[in-house]
Amino acid sequence: MTGSLPRCLIVAIALAACVASANGGDIPLDQRRSGYADLGRDTKAMQDDDTSNPATLWVLDGEALWNQKAGSANRACAECHGDATASMKGVAARYPAFDAVQKSPIDLEQRINLCRTERQNATPFAFESHELLALTAFIGRQSRGMPIVSTDEKLKPAIEAGRKLFMQRIGQIDMSCAQCHDDNWGKHLTSSLVPQGHPTGYPIYRLEWQNLGSLQRRLRNCMIGMRAEPFDYGAPEAVALEAYLMWRARGLPVETPAVRP
Amino acid sequence: MTRAVSLAAAIFTALAGGGFGLADELRPYQIAGGAIAVSLTGTPGDAARGRAIVVNRTVGLCLLCHSGPFPEERFQGNLAPDLTGSGARWSVGELRLRMVDSHKLNADTIMPAYYAVDGLNRVAPAFRGKPLLTAEQIEDVVAFLATLRGQ
């Protein structure tokens, strides 16, 4: 026992070291922090209080859409899914999820649009449309406070692809996501604090946008900043990156709808 | 005909904004002893123009990551070393290599190569085939950084 244990430990430590060096600088799990932690007191208060959180308007519109009949099937989300406070609890915490029919990971926006086309015989909502953001915010709100979950083995290839994208330098400025959000979080890019980049609160109300926006919109912002060609909305690369980011944020609580500068 | 073509090229260059057309090519340079000893343009840069490039957040981009002796500039970054004293720390040739392609000194640096167009991924169409700065701009910035000798 005493002879074999250290040997096991050595193997484990060696394996851990291999993983760590292959990952570059993954943030240790206990050092991860939501961007919320670095908000000013006013912005925190805005997020925490539904009556002052601007995203509440979208959540309420999303609730109305949830109960509204749509498409040639003349069917509301609620007719299949019932009371969202029960049926949607925890759902946003585990998206992107693997869709057996599509045989690929899909994010929550794509899930909503699949329900529209497949179940309601309705036209899909455009990405970043008020309706899609509203329903996503309403569904996401039902998971507020619940830990992000990323345990589905079928997501592994997408998570691995997303990790590669996160590590890849892009654009004329030639920087990777990891170079800021793994290696330099907590420092300042001009006036902006570089966050760790955990997608805990999407869709977010971003003060800079004066609007609600999706994680994909936020990712496109960073890519455009790097003078890179952004991923198209709904592109497999974008969903893979979302899947990686959710895995990376596993265990952190959902804040949807969050407020950010 | 030739005039029409060159006019079109001039308009294209103007629209592209960088003063660097797709037809332009990077000027050759030689690295020796951790430095590029010879000016990319063959002439020294202009330090005053260089300062304007350094503090311009959409041209030089320097202050996004660096801070420096620019008391009038609010919100300077701290992802990278302070530029104060750059000219005392590095020779002109060393500064030139750091501007042209810092990756030659440190493959993992976050400092972009300001004078390179190869080996990049997913560059947006408007910036494809163009370096971050022209040879003239690099020389101006190098000339300015060389003046930063204080502490």
Domain segments of chain B as ranges: 26-146
A172/B125 CB distance under 8 A? no
Size of interface A-B (CB pairs under 8 A): 68
Question: Among A175, A189, A190, which would you mutate to test the B interface (most chain B Cβ atoms within 10 Å of its Cβ)?
Answer: A190
Q: Stretch A102-113: mean pLDDT, rounded?
A: 97
- Say how far apart CA A86 and CA A142 lie, in whole Å: 8
With a cut of 90, say whether residue A16 has pLDDT above it. no
A188/B75 CB distance under 8 A? yes
B151 falls in which pLDDT band (50, 70, 90)?
A: confident
Q: Which residue has the tokens 């609730």?
A: A63
For A222, residues 6+ apart whose C-beta sits below 8 A from its C-beta are A177
A172/B79 CB distance under 8 A? no
Tell me, yes or no, whether A27 lies in a domain: no
Q: Which residue has the tokens 């005493």?
A: A2
A174/B120 CB distance under 8 A? yes
Name residues 107-126 of chain B within 8 A of A (Cβ).
110, 112-113, 120-126
Tell me, yes or no, whether A16 lies in a domain: no
Q: Who wins on pLDDT, A11 or A194?
A: A194
Tell me, yes or no, whether A145 lies in a domain: yes
Residues of B in contact with A241 (CB under 8 A): none
Check residue B19 and give its pLDDT: 56
Q: What is the CATH number of the domain that holds A205?
A: 1.10.760.10
Alpha helices per DSSP H over chain A: 4-23, 41-48, 56-66, 77-81, 84-87, 108-118, 130-141, 156-167, 177-181, 215-225, 236-248
- The minimum CA-CA distance between A190 and chain B, rounded to whole Å, is 4
Q: Which residue has the tokens 């609160």?
A: A201
The separation between the first and the last C-alpha atoms of chain A, rounded to the nearest angstrom, is 55
Domain B26-146, CATH homologous superfamily name and number: Cytochrome c-like domain (1.10.760.10)
With a cut of 90, say whether residue B68 has pLDDT above it. yes
- The minimum CA-CA distance between B4 and chain A, rounded to whole Å, is 31
Tell me, yes or no, whether A199 lies in a domain: yes
Q: Convert the pLDDT of each residue in A234-248 to its tens digit.
A: 999 999 999 999 999
Residues of A in contact with B127 (CB under 8 A): 171-172, 227
Residues of B in contact with A178 (CB under 8 A): none
- The whole-chain average pLDDT of chain A stands at 92
B110/A171 CB distance under 8 A? no
- The minimum CA-CA distance between B2 and chain A, rounded to whole Å, is 32
Check residue B7 and give its pLDDT: 43
**What residues make up the domain containing A117?**
35-261
How high is the ipTM of this complex? 0.85
Tell me, yes or no, whether A219 lies in a domain: yes
Question: HSE on the CB side for B84, CA within 13 Å?
Answer: 10
With a cut of 50, say whether residue A256 has pLDDT above it. yes
Name the nearest CA neighbour of B64 among A114, A175, A112, A126: A175
With a cut of 80, say whether residue A24 has pLDDT above it. no
Burial bucket for residue A167 (CB in 10 Å: 0-12, 13-18, 19+): middle
Check residue B24 and give its pLDDT: 66
The percent of residues in chain A predicted with pLDDT above 90, rounded, is: 90
Catalytic residue flag (residue A222): yes
The percent of residues in chain B predicted with pLDDT above 90, rounded, is: 82
Q: Stretch A41-69: mean pLDDT, rounded?
A: 98
Q: Kindly identify which residue of chain B lies nearest to residue A186, measuring between CA atoms.
A: B79
- Say how far apart CA A13 and CA B103 lie, in whole Å: 32
Q: Convert the pLDDT of each residue in B87-117 to its tens digit.
A: 999 999 999 999 999 999 999 999 999 999 9
A229/B122 CB distance under 8 A? yes
Check residue A14 and give its pLDDT: 46
- Say how far apart CA A209 and CA B142 lie, in whole Å: 37
One-letter identity of residue A236:
P
With a cut of 80, say whether residue B13 has pLDDT above it. no
Token readout for A213 is: 């926006």
The shortest CB-CB distance from A189 to any of B77, B121, B132 is to B77
A221 falls in which pLDDT band (50, 70, 90)?
A: very high
Tell me, yes or no, whether A7 lies in a domain: no
Residues of B in contact with A187 (CB under 8 A): 77-79
For CA atoms B137, B141, B144, B146, the dihedral sign is: negative
Q: How many CB atoms lie within 10 A of CB B83?
A: 20
Check residue A5 and give its pLDDT: 46
How many domains does chain A contain in total?
1
With a cut of 50, say whether residue B10 has pLDDT above it. no
Helix (H) or strand (E) holding A256: none
Q: Which residue has the tokens 């290839």?
A: A157
Check residue A25 and give its pLDDT: 79
Tell me, yes or no, whether A158 lies in a domain: yes
Helix (H) or strand (E) holding A106: strand A104-106
